[in-house]
Amino acid sequence: MKLHRSIPLFLLAAALLALSAPFEASAWRGVQKWSYDAGNSVTGSPAAVNGTIVIGDSEGRLVALDKATGELRWTFSAGGTINGTPALLGSTLFTGGADGSLFAVDGATGREVWHFTPREKYTPGAIWSSPAAGNGRVYFNSADGKVYALDAPSGNLAWTFDTGRELRSSPVLSGSLLFVGAYEGLFHALDAGTGKKMWGGGSGGPISTPTAADGLVLFGSWDGTLQSVKIQGVIPQWKYSAGEAITTRPLVAGGRIFFGTVNGKMVALEGASGKLLWEFPVPGGIHSNPAYHEGMVFFGSDGGTLFALDAATGREAWKFESGREIMSDPLFVDGVLYFGSFDGKVYAFE
């Protein structure tokens, strides 16, 4: 495995545009800090713990890299492709893999704390998404159609909820509620303590990972609609039709909502009304959940490019081309951007 440091492959394509309120001007330069060669496609998304960046790959390997230098600290094998972002409680990481097991890993050493494998192994289900952690529990969706809640310290099963169809999106914890979008087009709001369904909704297709913010829950669907609903009940606020499948989790920033689509559009809406503000087309689809930093929206594309757009106008401010799919979610830690690519590398830009 090779480590490459401080090679500025791409400078800013142009001077960063002045950003109007409510977005601040950016001092971010877009210069490569380091890259790490994982040797396999980097299919997961990064998390930060104990001064490291932790991310998973196509061979089920979780790697922890020094966030300043990119040097390898430890590795852990989950036994199957890792697609999600590890969840974090204290210094313990939680990650799932294609074999259907969820692992608790010591964030400092990479040692296994416990693992949980559903008993119904005659109906195994891969974990294609990110776990959620909070309130002393860890929650995950499985391709067997069930939502699982485990006691975080022990890994003991607390409850399950059966949606009846495979689950590919991630659960989202907001206070006492756990939100789950299902493949059959139903949306479930569950009591995080008991697993009881409190309310639900639906759409015309599989539902992507939701977002909870400002008393609302937002969820996109493969039928192309994004819905805004009050968290405490099925009270629709508005609905927007993108005209194609919505494949990312909505991002809420600066009073606006950003999301990506299957055919490669990054879309910005006014948060209060759902009114379209701008669209930015890219080659290939978008499966990388967008991130916000200093007035810019960052996301990867299936075409192999990491884009930074002016959040106010949708104009391109910067881009980096890896040459392979970037389905990893961008992560900012202390002003440094981290992400992985199917080219087998983990990148850091500042």
Range of lowest pLDDT (13-17, 136-140, 289-293) = 13-17
Instruction: Assess whether pLDDT exceeds 60 at residue 123.
Output: no
Locate all alpha helices (DSSP H) within 197-318, ordered by sequence.
none
- What's the CA gap between 214 and 34, in Å, rounded? 36
Instruction: Assess whether pLDDT exceeds 80 at residue 236.
Output: no
> Whose structure tokens read 């492709």?
81
pLDDT per residue as tens digits for the range 51-92: 999 999 999 999 999 999 999 999 999 978 999 999 999 999
Looking at residue 15, its pLDDT comes to 30
Could you tell me the domains of the chain?
Answer: 1-30+253-350 (2.40.128.630), 43-170 (2.40.128.630)
Instruction: Assess whether pLDDT exceeds 80 at residue 345.
Output: yes
pLDDT above 90 covers what percent of the chain? 77
pLDDT above 70 covers what percent of the chain? 91
> Whose structure tokens read 């005209």?
243
Task: Determine contact, residues 129/141, Cβ cutoff 8 Å.
Answer: yes
Is pLDDT larger for residue 92 or for residue 121? 92
Secondary structure, 3-state, 144-163: CCEEEEEECCCCCEEEEEEC
Tokens of 234: 């099925």
- What's the CA gap between 212 and 187, in Å, rounded? 13
pTM above 0.95, yes or no: no
- What's the CA gap between 69 and 252, in Å, rounded? 31
- What's the CA gap between 38 and 347, in Å, rounded? 11
Helix (H, G, I), strand (E, B) or coil at 171: coil
Looking at residue 27, its pLDDT comes to 74
Q: Looking only at Cα atoms, what is the longest distance across the chain?
A: 57
pLDDT per residue as tens digits for the range 150-173: 999 999 999 999 998 889 899 999
pLDDT per residue as tens digits for the range 178-219: 999 988 888 999 999 999 999 988 787 889 999 999 888 999
